[in-house]
Amino acid sequence: MTNDLQPLSSVPSPLPIPWRDPQTVSPAELDGYIARLESACAENPSSAPLRTCLGMAQAMKLDVYKAMDSLETATRLDQESFWAQLKFAELHYRLRALIRAEKETLKALDLASNSWEASVARKQLSEIRALMRAGTQKPEWNKPLTQPAIVLVAMLIVIGAAYLWR
């Protein structure tokens, strides 16, 4: 199987995805795709499909922060892009941030323009909800940590004073 790609500037949108199966792409080849996508994004800073493909490639390389930035930028650039929204939601799903993944997948479902896209989003949504029912999610940090930090510092001061007093 050859993965010869045309130059990205000559490829119509949406881009062909040569990495359907992550196990078949070598890390060096993936680095090459990422470099080409980054340069294409620099040439076309307002292209949501390019940013989406870049985010997917970065996620395959397990570079989560860069993938999150790329996909978030893609959703900001084109707020009507189903694929950018779905892949952004999928990244949250894979990170087990299920509450956020559900919210983003619902946005993607609203953006679906045909029945196939809607079925893909519904399938992802059902997987997210099944994981939520099974309790396979990371806790959502929505409370401030100032009070526990103050208690910790006070305890350290008391322990330090008791140690010095001996």
pLDDT in tens, 83-100: 999 999 999 998 888 899
Residues 6+ apart with CB under 8 A from 132: 98, 99, 102
Identify whether the C-beta of residue 84 lies closer than 8 Å to the C-beta of residue 52: yes
CA 61/CA 67 separation, integer angstroms: 9
Question: Residue 165's pLDDT is what?
Answer: 83
CA 75/CA 52 separation, integer angstroms: 8
pLDDT in tens, 122-155: 999 999 999 888 876 666 667 788 888 899 999 9
Identify whether the C-beta of residue 11 lies closer than 8 Å to the C-beta of residue 4: no
CA 166/CA 164 separation, integer angstroms: 6
Quick one: pLDDT band at residue 2, thresholds 50, 70, 90?
very low
Question: Residue 22's pLDDT is what?
Answer: 65
Is the pTM here over 0.75, yes or no? no
The CATH code for residues 8-141 is 1.25.40.10
Percentage of the chain beyond pLDDT 90 is 49
